[in-house]
Structure 1
Amino acid sequence: MRLILYSKPGCHLCEGLQEKLEQIQNLNFELEVRDITTREDWLQAYQYEVPVLYLSNRQDAKSAKSEDLIEMPLPRPSPRASVQQLEQMLSKYL
């Protein structure tokens, strides 16, 4: 599975969540970080919402057909959540 983190430069909440996701060792997922400032549609959708986390059903989303690709939004974790708490939350979805 792949986790997609919509983020933007200079966002301390985004950076904190990314660091915690990268520290998770007991779950098997690939992390893709998408900079919302690189696409107008992402910017319009998430400019006031980042960080936003999605679960994708495809390992290689770039080669997947768009009709086969399912991205499910995940609940926003608290910025105060520990790595262990984040891992427990994600284990429900992965």
Structure 2
Amino acid sequence: MRLILYTKPGCHLCEGLQEKLEKVQNISFELELRDITTRDDWFLAYQYEVPVLYFSESKATGDTGENLIEKPLPRPSPRASVQQLEQMLHKYLSN
């Protein structure tokens, strides 16, 4: 399982969410950081929205192998504790 965090340099909300995600213990996932300043399409989409969190999953597509599907997750409150973040992730990732 992979979580994708869209971020940008100097974003304190992004840094805070990344730190909390790295402390989550009861859910196994790989965290991928995407700096929106490295691609124009990401920057245009998220310049006023970061941090943005997505869940990435693989879907079998028959003969063509696997297809990655990215789904947005609700933005957690900057005040959310690691435990609250973990509960939110469990709720959305178990569906």
* Fold similarity call, TM over 0.5: yes
**Within 5 Å, which residues of 2 pair with 1:2-13?**
2-13=2-13
Shift of 1:69: 1.3
Q: 1:1-55 deviations in whole A, cap 9, x for unaligned?
A: 1000000000000000000000001101110010000000000000000000000
TM-score in terms of structure 1 length: 0.89
Larger radius of gyration: 2
Following TM superposition, the consecutive aligned residue runs of length 4 or more in structure 1 with deviations greater than 2 angstroms are none
Gaps in structure 1 of 5+ consecutive residues: 59-64
Aligned to 1:82: 81
Structure showing the higher strand proportion among its residues: 2
Aligned to 2:51: 51
Aligned to 2:21: 21
Give the secondary structure class of the aligned counterpart of 1:70.
strand
TM-score in terms of structure 2 length: 0.88
Shift of 1:93: 2.1
Residues in 2 aligned to 1:36 and 1:25: alpha-carbon distance in whole angstroms: 27
Gaps in structure 2 of 5+ consecutive residues: 59-63
